[in-house]
Structure 1
Amino acid sequence: MTIHKEGYTSIAITVLFIFILNAVIDYRFGDVAWLRWLVYIVSVALFLIVLQFFRSPRRMFSAGDNLVICPADGKVVVIEETEEGEYFKDKRLQVSVFMSPINVHVNRNPISGTVKFFKYHPGKYLAAWNPKSSTENERTTVVVENAEGTPVLFRQIAGALARRIVWYVKEGDEVKQAEEFGFIKFGSRVDIFLPLGTKINVNLGDVVRGGITTLAELT
Structure 2
Amino acid sequence: MSDSMLSTVIKPVHREGYPFIGIFAAVTLVLFLIWQPLGWIGVVLTVWCYYFFRDPERHTPQRAGLLISPADGVISLIEPAVPPVELGMGTDPMMRVSVFMNVFNCHVNRAPIAGTVSAVSYRPGKFFNASLDKASSDNERNSVAIDMADGRKIAVVQIAGLVARRIVCDVKPGDVLETGERFGMIRFGSRLDVYLPDGVHPLVSLGQTMVAGETVLADLASDETARLAEVR
TM-score with structure 1 setting the length: 0.91
Name whichever of 80-89 and 127-136 sits farther off.
80-89
Larger fraction in strand:
1
Deviations 1:163-188 (A, max 9, x none): 11101111111111111010111110
Aligned to 2:180: 178
CA contact (8 A) 1:113 1:146 kept: yes
Q: Gaps (5+ residues) in structure 1?
A: 26-35
SS at match of 1:56: coil
Q: Offset of 1:59 from its aligned partner?
A: 2.2
Q: Which residues of structure 2 form unaligned runs of 5+?
A: 1-10, 222-232
User: Which residue number in structure 2 is paired with residue 57 of structure 1?
Assistant: 56
**Matched residue type, 1:83:** V
**Alignment correspondent of 1:84:** 83
4+ long deviations beyond 3 Å: none
Aligned position for 2:17: 7
The residue number in structure 2 matching 1:206 is 208
1:146 counterpart residue number: 148
* Aligned twin of 1:28: none
Look up the SS of the partner of 2:21 in the other structure.
helix
The structural deviation recorded for 1:37 is 3.8
Determine the C-alpha separation between the residues in 2 that align with 1:40 and 1:107.
32
Alignment of 1:34-49 (within 5 A): 36-49=35-48
- Residue 138 of structure 2 aligns with an amino acid whose one-letter code is E
Q: CA RMSD in A?
A: 1.2
**Paired residue for 1:125, among 117, 124, 127?**
127
Query: What's 2:3 paired with?
Result: none
Q: Following the alignment from structure 1 to structure 2, what is the Cα–Cα distance between the partners of residues 210 and 54?
A: 14
| Offset at residue 82 of structure 1 (A) | 2.1
C-alpha separation between the residues in 2 aligned to 1:65 and 1:182? 23
The 2-side partners of 1:141 and 1:157 are apart by 9
Contact 2:113 2:178 in 1 (8 A): yes
Sequence identity of aligned pairs in percent?
41
Q: Deviations over 1:131-165 (max 9, x none)?
A: 12111111100000110011010000000111111
User: Which amino acid in 2 is paired with 1:53?
Assistant: F
2:101 paired residue among 91, 99, 102: 99
2: CA distance, partners of 1:180 / 1:164: 17
Residue pair 2:118, 2:147 contacting (<8 A) in 1 also:
yes
